[in-house]
Structure 1
Amino acid sequence: MTPTNTTNPLNPTQPASAVPFDYLVYIGRFEPLHNGHFAMLRQALAQARTVIVVLGSAGGARTVKNPFTADERRQMIEGAVAAWDAARVADLRFVVVRDYYESARWTAAVRAVAGAVIDAPAHGTPRVGLFGHFKDASSGYLNDFPGWELVPQPSFGQLNAADVRRQWFEQQGACKGWRACCRSRWPRSCASSPGAKRSRPCWPSTASCRTTAAAGRPRRIRRSS
């Protein structure tokens, strides 16, 4: 599919053909998408015709660490981008990869799913970059993709998804915590996405969530009766 954008939304005087990359690969769990992720995504879209969003930790049961399905996360991201610049939603490609707990296998899986959506231009080879932020030691994977030009980004604030999840659980029940997190940390449209709304009732009591986290083992979180 040919990307539809004709101008760079962060610099409307710049035509889309002037952006440096054909594709930027942006890997994340987005559990949940927050304003830091969204700021990075806008920067990626400003530098590429197409952004390939790799949704990690896909396919498993809901846990405290991974509360959203890949499809719910996709809906959050699409909703946030649509509210910012609806035309750019067509320039997103979503792929999923499960956890492998072995670096080489995980890296190969990311290359395979991203490579499947990269189209060669009419002339030459597509310019592909890897977009990300070196947050801590867990970001070392950004060095594991030779051939994809690394495009490191600064931190956009001090947000991280673990803090958003923790705040959600600790504020007098899931629904109240959800609303408080949304107001301060989430793209406004993200919180109202169908995926986000569907996930809210799936959370048990805060005490039960803490028990699950302390146990350190995945457990399906079921809808309470």
Structure 2
Amino acid sequence: MILFTADKDTSAPFFELELIKEKKFLHLPLENFQYRVDEEESGEIRNHMGEFAFIIHGNLRNAKYFVEWMKQNSTEEQVRGCVNIVLDKPTAKFLESHDIPAIQPREPAKPIDILEFMLRISKEGSTLYPTTENKTEEMPGLLKELQMPVAEFSVCEEVPLDEETLKDYKAEVGKSPVEVILLHNRSSYVRVKTAFPDLDLLSKTVVAGSLGTTELMEKEGLKPDYLAKGSWDSIAKVLNEI
């Protein structure tokens, strides 16, 4: 069994991959989010919705909270009038379930694929990018480098897990036959150590999802058994080999 702690929404594309369909996961998300917008920023975005040509939904989490904002602010028609672009199929399915047509330039799509798509179509206007407070994402930076106008709009924030949930998680880990620990990014390593202090990483097979995760572990004298290249696809390929 594989212990996996990523947020359910952002890891949704991972569970779509065929390579891991037969794998057994103990999925205990250690990231928790809630809807939150700054009222002044929200008003600015609402008043300028007609100026946006594109809306880029970087992941399912951001899309869900943006749709919540959309409904609260009655901006459905303006949102549907934009070109809504996504990186993955779960996000596209979610938007389409709310009657928002979504375009995925490639499967799987990377930020560069979205840039190429935007440059190919002749549509003028700025880009709206719903995001999570204090989370840095690659796409807005790429747009700014190309001097393409983009407005980042924070629609949610991370909040701590409640004590009861953590208690339940610890009980699940204690009674489950965990053999592999998947540390999908740097923060997951810190979260796993904090949430499960009695979990002996040295006695488990540890998969680091990226080089950054490996470097963080090595600073503390630990070394992963397997290293992926930072994408869900690369993580799935590594797990398939174990």
TM-score (norm 1): 0.41
> Normalized against structure 2, the TM-score is what?
0.39
Larger radius of gyration: 2
